[in-house]
Chains A and B, each alone.
Chain A
Amino acid sequence: MSDNPILSVRDLVVEIPTRHGILRPVDHVSYDIHAGEILGVVGESGAGKSMTGNAVIGLLDPPARIAGGEVLLKGEPIHNISRDRLRRLRGNRMGMIFQDPLTSLNPLLTVGDQLVETILVHLKVGQSEARKRAIAALDEVGIPAASQRIDSYPHEFSGGMRQRVVIALALCAEPELVIADEPTTALDVSVQAQIVALLKRLCRERGVAVMLVTHDMGVIAEAADRVAVMYAGRLAELGPVREVLTRAHHPYTAGLMASTPLASQGRKRLRQIPGAMPRLGALPEGCAFHPRCERAEAKCRQDPGPRIDTCDGRAACWFPVTETQEDKKEVQA
């Protein structure tokens, strides 16, 4: 892999001060995304995956704030620059795709107006050239008869088509980094497959770095090159997608995979992780996963939370799972 990542996040900490103390929805998270790579970020609700994406792109809602660490876009820090400079970066060098395509488009403007506006703001082109590019952008994301559909309003498109428009909007100023936050969650299976294929194609063709935030392991397996698993605001595991999904080192990842119904398993009883993710206000001491972990020992309860770089380099766990999938199956059976 090349040495110059597009996005580099180092020890990122996001804090929310509340009446009951300071919450840390993102706690010392570090990762890189290279050009043309899709990094999948998975976790259950409340794991801090969306918060990480928002922190990177500078869209944290106050009082949430970046309290530590740095975010580097091609080596330049972007976590401490003015709102104005950040606004110019967004759209131009960073694009964002949200979960709900209906709320991320302006219902009062035609799709063309919104695309042309974005292009005019970020690129030095004239009105007619901008419109030409807007049509090309719609065409590229697979909207049929783009030159006619450009004058339609968002409500005239179906859910899948709307999400394509949002992708066109995120990509029209040719960004280097795209953050896609649950881009297919609101869509049906057949449309989801179309959108995932589209994201993969655009990422490969344009060499865009994509951060794909989702809770769907299936989408991650098909789309991502590497995957980051988050739990209670911390990175639990980070590695190549095939490695992490088939030979998880972190007990949480392993449990997550075992509790997902798999086609090949048939009617066997699902393994379940007992309990639920702790609330941020009531994180346990030590490793945040230890109350639910069957491998937990005294070290997990006492020592400060393990970090990937201080453990085996892939999982933030003092006692990572190392046996292969086959061994585990035997143990289960």
Chain B
Amino acid sequence: MSALISVRGLTRIFDVSKPWLNRVIERKPKALLTAVSDVSFEIEENSVYALVGESGSGKSTIGKIMVGLVPPSDGHVEIDGVDLATETDAAKIEAVRADIQMIFQDPYASLNPRWRVRDIINEPVAAKGGNVEGLAERLLDQVGLSAADAGKYPHEFSGGQRQRICIARALASEPRIIVCDEPTSALDVSVQSQVLNLMSDLREEFGLTYLFISHDLTVVQHMADKIGVLYLGRLVEEAPRDRLFHEPKHPYTQMLFDAAPRMDAFGREVEPPKGEIPDAINPPSGCAYHPRCPIAVERCSRERPKMRKIGETRVACHLAE
């Protein structure tokens, strides 16, 4: 299978400096936060690629760059061979834009409370002058709500139902790719399973490709075909799901798996991981994980490890084998 999305050397730097005058008075240099640093990966058509990481690892920023909400500082995202940031052919840009949609974490904040559900769902198509006759009703039916709901307002729905509306809206323009940024984090467990099952069904039905962004390892393990683990804006490991969960190679991935609470680990007594995520404005030298890493050697603090391919796994660690 060929790659539908290819991300190469993606970097995004945010300027988080204080205002100019404060900097002069306090004699502080500019503060630059590297949210995403040299990340490369490919997503195959009709697969689920998951990005996992803790807060500040840059997973949401990558999702936003992907749909074009944030421009990259460096590097390329090519969707079907078209780079949104540099492409000049308006027709091509439009075609790719329609191919990629996004579902956000908070279904309460991502629906306009003053719009009827019908208008919310029709908007992506109506904005381009498409035919919206019966579209919302059909989509609502597909995501497990009823066509009669089209005339209601978002506040009349529960969290899980709102997330279904968000999914219906994302499907309206018949996209091939959906970027899901923590789609179930705001939902309760029993509702989460409904939404995850729906997403799996839609993927089969429409041949969708998902970029699935989450911090929840159990959800990722359930949904993903291939998983990329991010730490401080860097991709530290990438592997097919079973490979990654059976044989994590990067010490950070291993720590993440050990630390995650497990339902079958009653009264487990393990040494909790040490340290916390460092400040992204002044990341550690060399490998960003070396201050917390149990197996770090002198070289790790000096030299940033390159991505290496070991079997099916790609890992950025000097010592992994």
Q: Quick one: which of B194, B245, B260 contacts A218, CB cutoff 8 A?
A: B260
Of residues 296 through 316 on chain B, the ones whose CB sits less than 8 Å from some CB of chain A are: none
**List of A residues within 8 angstroms of B270 by Cβ:** 193, 197
Judging by beta carbons under 8 Å apart, are A263 and B262 in contact?
yes
Judging by beta carbons under 8 Å apart, are B190 and A221 in contact?
no
Judging by beta carbons under 8 Å apart, are A272 and B194 in contact?
yes
**List of A residues within 8 angstroms of B272 by Cβ:** 190, 193-194, 196-197
Q: Quick one: which of B191, B193, B245, B277 contacts A188, CB cutoff 8 A?
A: B277
Judging by beta carbons under 8 Å apart, are B259 and A193 in contact?
yes
**C-alpha spacing A260/B222, complex, angstroms:** 10
**List of B residues within 8 angstroms of A188 by Cβ:** 54-55, 215, 277
Q: Quick one: which of A45, A218, A276 contacts B263, CB cutoff 8 A?
A: A218
**C-alpha spacing A257/B193, complex, angstroms:** 11
Answer whether residue A158 sits at the interface, using C-beta atoms and an 8 A cutoff.
yes
Within the complex, what minimum Cβ distance (angstroms) separates A272 from chain B?
A: 4
Q: Quick one: which of B54, B191, B245, B266 contacts A189, CB cutoff 8 A?
A: B54
Q: Quick one: which of A216, A221, A272 contacts B265, CB cutoff 8 A?
A: A221
Q: Quick one: which of A221, A245, A259 contacts B193, CB cutoff 8 A?
A: A259
Judging by beta carbons under 8 Å apart, are A160 and B261 in contact?
no
Task: Point out which of A189, A191, A245 has the most chain B C-beta atoms below 10 A from its C-beta.
Answer: A189
CB-CB nearest in chain B for A216: B261
CB-CB nearest in chain A for B157: A276
Answer whether residue A86 sits at the interface, using C-beta atoms and an 8 A cutoff.
no
**List of B residues within 8 angstroms of A257 by Cβ:** 263
Judging by beta carbons under 8 Å apart, are B263 and A255 in contact?
no
Within the complex, what minimum Cβ distance (angstroms) separates A204 from chain B?
A: 10
Judging by beta carbons under 8 Å apart, are A260 and B263 in contact?
yes
Q: Quick one: which of A158, A215, A218, A265 contacts B188, CB cutoff 8 A?
A: A215
Judging by beta carbons under 8 Å apart, are B262 and A270 in contact?
no
Per-residue CB contact flags for chain A residues 175-216 toward chain B (1 = under 8 Å, else 0) read 000000000000011111110110000000000000000011
**List of A residues within 8 angstroms of B73 by Cβ:** none
Answer whether residue A273 sits at the interface, using C-beta atoms and an 8 A cutoff.
yes
Q: With contacts A188-B215, A218-B263 known, is A270 near B221, CB below 8 A?
A: no
Within the complex, what minimum Cβ distance (angstroms) separates A273 from chain B?
A: 4
CB-CB nearest in chain B for A142: B272
CB-CB nearest in chain A for B266: A242
Answer whether residue A256 sits at the interface, using C-beta atoms and an 8 A cutoff.
yes
**List of B residues within 8 angstroms of A45 by Cβ:** 188
**C-alpha spacing A242/B54, complex, angstroms:** 29
Within the complex, what minimum Cβ distance (angstroms) separates A141 from chain B?
A: 13
CB-CB nearest in chain A for B261: A218
Judging by beta carbons under 8 Å apart, are B192 and A259 in contact?
yes
**List of A residues within 8 angstroms of B221 by Cβ:** 261, 263
- On chain B, the number of residues with a Cβ less than 8 Å from chain A's Cβ atoms is 40
**C-alpha spacing A218/B262, complex, angstroms:** 5
Judging by beta carbons under 8 Å apart, are A241 and B273 in contact?
no
Per-residue CB contact flags for chain B residues 183-200 toward chain A (1 = under 8 Å, else 0) read 000001111111011001
**List of B residues within 8 angstroms of A44 by Cβ:** 188-191
**List of A residues within 8 angstroms of B265 by Cβ:** 218, 221-222
**List of B residues within 8 angstroms of A194 by Cβ:** 272-273
Judging by beta carbons under 8 Å apart, are A259 and B190 in contact?
yes
Q: With contacts A158-B276, A242-B266, A256-B190 known, is A190 near B261, CB below 8 A?
A: no
Of residues 255 through 293 on chain B, the ones whose CB sits less than 8 Å from some CB of chain A are: 255-256, 258-268, 270, 272-273, 276-277
Within the complex, what minimum Cβ distance (angstroms) separates A99 from chain B?
A: 14
Judging by beta carbons under 8 Å apart, are A192 and B261 in contact?
yes
Within the complex, what minimum Cβ distance (angstroms) separates B294 from chain A?
A: 13
Within the complex, what minimum Cβ distance (angstroms) separates B149 from chain A?
A: 14
Answer whether residue B17 sits at the interface, using C-beta atoms and an 8 A cutoff.
no
Answer whether residue B158 sits at the interface, using C-beta atoms and an 8 A cutoff.
yes
Q: Quick one: which of B158, B200, B217, B268 contacts A276, CB cutoff 8 A?
A: B158
**C-alpha spacing A259/B219, complex, angstroms:** 11
Answer whether residue B112 sits at the interface, using C-beta atoms and an 8 A cutoff.
no
**C-alpha spacing A262/B258, complex, angstroms:** 15
Judging by beta carbons under 8 Å apart, are A190 and B273 in contact?
yes
Answer whether residue B154 sits at the interface, using C-beta atoms and an 8 A cutoff.
no
Answer whether residue B146 sits at the interface, using C-beta atoms and an 8 A cutoff.
no
Q: With contacts A45-B188, A272-B190 known, is A261 near B266, CB below 8 A?
A: no
Q: With contacts A193-B259, A241-B266, A261-B218 known, is A270 near B193, CB below 8 A?
A: yes
Per-residue CB contact flags for chain A residues 247-285 toward chain B (1 = under 8 Å, else 0) read 000000001110111111101011111101100000000
Answer whether residue A296 sits at the interface, using C-beta atoms and an 8 A cutoff.
no
Judging by beta carbons under 8 Å apart, are A270 and B55 in contact?
no
Within the complex, what minimum Cβ distance (angstroms) separates B158 from chain A?
A: 5
**C-alpha spacing A188/B266, complex, angstroms:** 21
**C-alpha spacing A51/B235, complex, angstroms:** 42
Q: With contacts A215-B189, A218-B263, A241-B266 known, is A261 near B276, CB below 8 A?
A: no
Q: Quick one: which of A161, A192, A245, A263 contacts B259, CB cutoff 8 A?
A: A192
Q: With contacts A215-B189, A272-B197, A276-B160 known, is A193 near B261, CB below 8 A?
A: yes
Judging by beta carbons under 8 Å apart, are A255 and B190 in contact?
yes
Task: Point out which of B255, B258, B260, B265 has the most chain A C-beta atoms below 10 A from its C-beta.
Answer: B260
Q: With contacts A44-B188, A261-B221, A261-B222 known, is A189 near B260, CB below 8 A?
A: yes
Within the complex, what minimum Cβ distance (angstroms) separates A280 from chain B?
A: 14
Interface residues of A (CB under 8 A from B): 44-45, 158, 160-161, 188-194, 196-197, 215-219, 221-222, 225, 241-242, 245, 255-257, 259-265, 267, 269-274, 276-277
6 tightest A-B CB contacts, nearest first: A218-B261, A259-B193, A44-B188, A261-B222, A188-B54, A193-B259
List, sorted by A's number, 26 A–B pairs whose CB atoms are closer than 8 Å: A160-B276, A161-B276, A188-B54, A189-B260, A190-B272, A191-B276, A193-B259, A193-B273, A194-B272, A194-B273, A218-B260, A218-B262, A219-B261, A221-B264, A222-B266, A245-B266, A256-B189, A257-B263, A259-B189, A260-B263, A262-B218, A263-B264, A270-B197, A272-B194, A273-B190, A276-B190
